[in-house]
Structures are given as structure tokens and as C-alpha cells.
Amino acid sequence: MKAERIICWFSSGAASAVATKILLHDWPKARPVYCETGAEHPDNLHFITDCESWFGKPIERLKSKDYEDTWDVWTRRRYLAGIRGAPCSVELKIAPRLIFQKPTDIHVFGYTADASDIVRATRFRTNYPEISLRTPLIERGLTKAGCLGLLQIEPVPEIWTGG
């Protein structure tokens, strides 16, 4: 089965920004996609705009059809986070992703080479074995601190080419 789309899941964080930039260098037709939670800090929205300029293309936005924001989830579900997880993440990020994705997509996440993110990437692969996952930051040994550093210097051609 041939990949139809490469989806870069942008979270408005440094790691997902660097992962997206790397993938767009390698695959210019990759699609940066962001799941809006309705509770974004204005600085996140500013960063998204900056990244669109840096990427040279817009970031597609997905939004829950059922919930307006995190407080809407809280009001209707009466549960924010705990042993059963976080329904706001499920309803505002995972549900829109599951509706949007196609079986042939390649999914790119900004999991870093930090130990905790390697565990998260492994857990993602275990929980969603049907999904083709790329982790360019882990592949290149880039940590969260490294991503933050890369956002402060430009250009960084060796990181895009893997050299």
C-alpha cells in the first residue's frame, strides 16, 4: 500500500516545529496539521503564524465537531485528567485526528530523543499498530533542548539533510 499523504502533526511546540521543518525539507508535499483545542495561549497562535512563514506553507487546522474547548469537555464530561487519562486530549486532539487520517497516511510526530519521548513513541506504536509513524527527531538524535536551540539559529542545513 503506497502512502497517500505525509501528515506532520504540529503541536505548536519546538519539537513538532523542527520535525515538521525536517519533513518538509525531505517531502515538500507533506502536510502540517494542527488540532485546535480552543484553549491556546496567544503566544501559541503567534508561534503558529511564525512557523507557517518558516515552513513556506499554511498549517491546516482541525477542530472537534462536538466540543468547543477544554472547558466544554469538562462541563459535559465532568472529568479533566487522572487515572483514566485526559478526555480533553481525546476529544480535542485524538478524535479529530482519527476522523482526518487515512489508512495510507504516514504520520510524523515531534517525539524527541529524550528517554521519556522514546517511551511515548514506543507506546504510540503499540497502541496504534495500524499507523505508519515517522519520528525524525529520534532518528537524528535530537532532544527537546536541541530543538529549542535549533529554533534560535538559522540556517541549519546539516540537520535537515541528516549530516
Q: Structural domain of residue 110, as residue ranges?
A: 6-161
Angle ∠(66,94,96) on CA atoms, nearest 5: 45
Across the range 76-96, mean pLDDT stands at 80
Kindly report which listed range (27-36, 65-74, 153-162) carries the lowest average pLDDT score: 153-162
- Averaged pLDDT score across all residues of the chain: 88
Starting from the edge strand earliest in sequence, which strands make up the sheet with 6-10, in order? 60-63, 31-36, 6-10, 106-108, 132-134
The pLDDT assigned to 157 comes to 45
Number of domains in the chain: 1
CATH of the domain at 11: 3.40.50.620
Q: Is the dihedral of CA 79, 44, 155, 105 positive or negative?
A: positive
The answer to whether residue 82 is domain-embedded is yes
The answer to whether residue 45 is domain-embedded is yes
The answer to whether residue 126 is domain-embedded is yes
29 confidence band (pLDDT: 50, 70, 90) = very high
> pTM (2 decimals)?
0.85
